[in-house]
Every structure is written in structure tokens, then in C-alpha cells.
């Protein structure tokens, strides 16, 4: 294994045998049948990737993509049917709520149990006990059997044990979704500390903002295979296409389609725009992530400042408009017009749509053109942002993306006063002597 490689997954497959009857399981185990009495389910198929030392890597994918299975194989909970995994470093894993905990033991007893399973002596666990208890912050409940814990208390203790034993590799599978906001903030602060110490983190989450914010690299799984890997932003954009069946997964896996490529019938960056169109005044992102099912197409869009000028530079505190002009190629009912503003790391900061704003459009005929206008005040901090727009809707109860343009243009916010965080709450501040 390469010197800077912490985890190497090489041609790993996991196949489960599915039986229709328990009797078939016994027959197969005893070899009493010449024919197959089971169906094969390929949870993982020939998966390979490397995770380098000091990286924070996110794994994303739909339910059933194989995320938890590959983590369990990496940590030794499961054995692969084929392939191998190489690990260089001590692993601490939090795969699921309370994994490895004895329900009858107290919190303290489970700390010693888990620490011993990880290879620590009693004296080493004693030395870390104060840090574990402080991080878990469950008070006197630590002396009660864990079967009496709430789910939040359970995950606090489990995560406190996993993260305070000084691992070289930390593996977390969705556990943070159980804790409250304060606990999650504390965990992510610990993630930052680990990254600064050069430790390796492997992180599975459905929280795409967390993946974008904390991960250096991301791996996208789909139906038991690794579809692609790259920057968190690229993988999140591709994942969103997978969710709405707008990604050519076969072409991506074969390397014949870029994760940046457009799949729309009309390519925005390749269109000839008339001089009087709004979009002709903007520099369009050459790697705009564009796709849709062809029901409608965004044929023009604009950003206007408070004076009605087309611009991508906006003053903090000013009013501005976002417009999108959409041509409908099919008859639909109640299409939804949207916009989202993200930071340069790909984290969605704000946005809205006509459904949220209770602006029902009603029935739209083939050939109709509609313009959606969103007017609001710019309260984001000074900096660079990315604008995404789309037209979506529901057909027979199923969500559909008609046309979507991710990160189509950049927005620059100019500010002479920034506050903490992403946006300004426009506080009125007074200080008086008493």
C-alpha cells in the first residue's frame, strides 16, 4: 500500500444469498440440493478506491447504494465476498446507534467494554475517562443501564467514546443525525480538530451541506457500485442528478461522460443568444450543471439591481430581482419555479420557489412561456456566490425536474459591514452606561 494511503479498498464485492423459505437455507447449508435455492443480491460490486492519510472523505448515495455495507467491511464487521481491504492506522468507528454496547451495562461499563474491544488497557481508558464524560455530557445517567437511555443520550455516549480514544482513522455512519443541534456542532468542531491534526475521517451522511463543508473529497455510490469520485461539489451535483434519474450512470462509469457534462436537450452554453436577451449580458459558467427531462426549458434569465440594471454585482442591503423565462414543451399543471444561492464551497445558503411562496401557476399549455420574478433584499455577507435556477413539478404524484441550471452564474456581494456567519440579521445595537 502507498505510504500516504490510510485505507485501500480493492475490487471488493459483497453478495448476499436471499432465500424464499428457511428450509431452503438449511438445504443450501447442508448441500442437499444440486440447484440454486436462493437468489443473489449484489450489495457491492467490484468497488475500489483509496483514502489518503489526513483526508476527510464523504460517501454519499441513495438508500441501498452500499454505503453502510462498505463501511462495515472496512471496519471488519463484515467480510467481503471478493476483494480485499488494507488499513494503515488504528480505527475508531461509529457505524450505527449503540453498536457494540451491552444494553444491560451502565454507561461507564460500556465505556470500558468498548475501550477494551479497541485494544486499550484499563489504565489507558481511565486516562481518557474525563474527556469522554465531558464530551458526552449526560450527567448521572452514565451510571444507569444504557437500555434506559434516550436515542440522543445513546449516540452522545457512543460518539464520545469513538472520538476520544485518539484514533488515527475515524469512521462515522449517519450517527450525527440523532443528536441535537448543540451536540452536532460540538462533533463537527471535533472533526475540524481532527483534520488539523492530520487524521483521517470517513464520513457517510445524507446531510449534503455537511459533506460540502467538511470533506476534502467525496465518493458517490449507486446501486452497489462506485459511480464517481471527486470534489464534494461535483459529487453532490451528480448525486442530485441521480436522485431524479437524470444521470447517464453507464456513460459516467465508462468514462465517456464527464460529471460536469450537460444532459439537457438544449445546451445553455452552446446556444446562440440574441443581443436583446437577458442572459447575453452575463458570463455563463462553462461548467454549468444542466439537465432536465425536456418538459420545459429555461430560455432566458436575469439578475437586476434596485435600479433595474442587469448585473451580477449587488450591494448588501439593496433590493434585487432574479428572473427566469421558461418555455413549456408539454402541457403541465402547477410548475414550480426555483432559485438557490450557494457559496463557493457548494453549500446552499438561501433560496425559495413558487410553491413555498404559495404562487400556484395552474394549468400550462404546450408552447406557453412564463416569467417568474423573485424580488428580495440582499442580506448575505460580502463575497462570491453561485446562482442556480430551475423549473420542476409533479407528474402523477412523482417529482420531476423539467430543466435545471446549477451554478449558472456567479454573484458578487459588495459590503461595507459584515457580521458573523452567512447573512446579516440587521441588528439594531445600543450600548448604554448604567
What are the respective helix, strand and coil percentages of the chain, to the nearest 5? 25, 35, 40
pLDDT band at residue 1 under the 50/70/90 scheme:
low
> pLDDT tens digit string along 108-142?
999 999 888 877 889 989 999 999 999 888 999 99
Of 61-65, 248-252, 262-266, 397-401, the poorest mean pLDDT is in 262-266
List, as own/partner pairs, every contact residues 269-275 make where C-beta atoms lie below 8 angstroms and the sequence separation is at least 24, other chains included.
Answer: none
Three-state secondary-structure class, residue 256:
coil
Mean pLDDT of 79-93: 92
Instruction: Take residue 89 and report the three cell numbers written for it.
Output: 492506522
**pLDDT digit string, tens, across residues 336-366:** 999 999 998 888 999 999 999 999 999 999 9
Q: Give 262's pLDDT tier (boundaries 50, 70, 90).
A: very low
- Quick one: DSSP state of residue 367? T
Looking up cell 475521517 gives 201
Grid coordinates standing for 75?
471496519
pLDDT given at position 337: 98
- Tell me the domains of the chain and their CATH numbers: 5-253 (3.40.50.300), 274-414 (2.70.50.60)
State which of 203-212, 238-247, 399-408 shows the largest mean pLDDT: 399-408
Q: What per-residue confidence (pLDDT) applies to 260?
A: 60
- The whole-number pLDDT of residue 13 equals 97
User: Taking a C-beta distance cutoff of 8 angstroms, is the pair 194, 201 a contact?
Assistant: yes
68-89 mean pLDDT: 93
**Cα 59 to Cα 174: distance, rounded to the nearest angstrom:** 11
Single out the residue of 101, 76, 102 nearest to residue 12, CA to CA: 76
Q: Please state, in angstroms and rounded to a whole number, the distance separating the CA atoms of residues 149 and 155.
A: 9
Interatomic CA distance for residues 430 and 83, integer angstroms: 65
User: Is the separation of the CB atoms in 402 and 335 below 8 Å?
Assistant: yes
Pairing of strands 200-204, 217-222: unpaired
Please choose, from the candidates 216, 386, 380, 372, the residue with its C-alpha nearest in 3D space to the C-alpha of residue 289: 386
Give whole-number Cα distances, 201 to 55, 98, 161, 172, 173, in Å: 6, 20, 16, 8, 11
**Which H or E element spans position 211?**
helix 208-214
Give me the pLDDT at residue 183, please: 78
Cell of 379: 442580506
Say if CB 238 and CB 259 are below 8 A apart.
Answer: yes
pTM value?
0.80
CA atoms within 13 A on the CB side of 88: 14
Residue with cell 446579516: 424
pLDDT one-digit tens code per residue, 306-346: 999 999 989 999 999 999 999 999 999 999 999 999 998 88
Query: Residue 383: left (phi > 0), alpha (psi -120 to 50), or beta?
Result: left
Strand partners, 217: 57
Q: How far apart are the first and last CA of the chain?
A: 67
pLDDT for residue 151 is more than 70: yes
Q: What pLDDT, on the 0 to 100 scale, is given for residue 263?
A: 42
Residue 258: pLDDT above 70?
no
Amino acid at each position: 500500500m502507498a505510504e500516504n494511503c490510510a485505507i485501500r479498498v480493492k475490487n471488493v464485492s459483497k453478495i448476499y444469498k436471499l432465500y424464499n423459505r428457511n428450509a431452503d437455507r438449511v438445504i443450501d447449508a447442508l448441500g442437499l440440493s444440486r440447484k440454486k435455492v436462493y437468489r443473489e443480491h449484489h450489495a457491492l460490486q467490484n468497488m475500489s478506491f483509496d483514502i489518503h492519510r489526513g483526508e476527510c472523505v464523504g460517501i454519499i448515495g441513495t438508500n441501498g447504494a452500499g454505503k453502510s455495507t462498505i463501511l462495515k467491511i472496512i471496519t471488519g464487521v463484515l467480510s467481503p465476498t471478493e476483494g480485499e481491504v488494507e488499513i494503515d492506522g488504528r480505527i475508531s468507528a461509529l457505524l450505527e446507534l449503540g453498536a457494540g454496547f451491552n444494553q444491560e451495562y451502565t454507561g461507564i461499563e460500556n465505556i470500558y467494554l468498548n475501550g477494551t474491544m479497541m485494544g486499550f488497557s484499563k489504565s489507558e481508558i481511565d486516562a481518557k475517562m474525563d474527556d469522554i464524560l465531558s464530551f458526552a455530557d449526560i450527567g448521572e445517567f452514565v451510571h444507569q443501564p444504557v437500555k434506559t437511555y434516550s436515542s440522543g443520550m445513546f449516540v452522545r455516549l457512543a460518539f464520545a467514546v469513538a472520538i476520544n480514544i485518539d484514533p488515527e482513522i475515524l469512521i462515522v455512519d449517519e450517527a450525527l443525525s440523532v443528536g441535537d443541534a448543540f451536540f452536532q456542532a460540538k462533533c463537527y468542531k471535533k472533526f475540524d480538530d481532527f483534520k488539523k491534526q492530520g487524521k483521517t475521517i470517513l464520513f457517510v451522511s445524507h446531510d449534503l451541506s455537511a459533506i460540502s463543508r467538511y470533506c476534502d473529497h467525496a465518493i458517490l455510490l449507486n446501486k452497489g457500485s462506485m459511480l464517481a469520485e471527486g470534489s464534494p461539489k461535483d459529487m453532490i451535483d451528480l448525486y442530485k442528478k441521480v436522485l431524479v434519474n437524470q444521470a447517464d450512470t453507464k456513460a459516467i462509469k465508462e468514462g465517456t461522460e464527464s460529471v460536469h457534462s450537460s444532459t439537457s436537450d438544449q445546451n445553455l452554453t452552446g446556444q446562440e443568444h440574441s443581443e436583446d436577451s437577458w442572459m447575453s449580458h452575463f458570463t455563463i459558467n462553462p461548467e454549468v450543471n444542466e439537465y432536465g427531462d425536456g418538459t420545459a426549458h429555461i430560455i432566458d434569465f436575469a439578475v437586476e439591481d434596485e435600479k433595474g440594471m442587469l448585473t451580477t454585482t449587488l450591494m448588501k442591503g439593496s433590493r434585487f430581482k432574479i428572473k427566469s423565462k421558461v418555455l413549456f414543451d408539454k402541457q403541465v399543471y402547477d410548475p414550480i419555479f426555483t432559485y438557490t444561492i450557494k457559496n463557493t464551497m457548494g453549500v446552499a445558503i438561501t433560496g425559495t420557489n413558487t410553491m413555498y411562496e404559495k404562487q400556484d401557476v395552474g394549468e400550462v399549455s404546450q408552447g406557453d412561456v412564463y416569467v417568474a420574478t423573485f424580488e428580495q433584499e440582499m442580506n448575505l455577507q460580502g463575497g462570491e456566490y453561485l446562482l442556480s435556477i430551475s423549473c420542476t413539478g409533479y407528474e402523477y404524484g412523482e417529482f420531476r425536474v423539467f430543466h435545471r441550471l446549477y451554478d449558472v452564474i456567479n454573484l458578487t456581494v459588495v459590503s461595507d459591514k459584515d457580521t458573523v456567519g452567512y447573512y446579516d440579521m440587521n441588528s439594531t445595537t445600543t450600548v448604554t452606561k448604567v
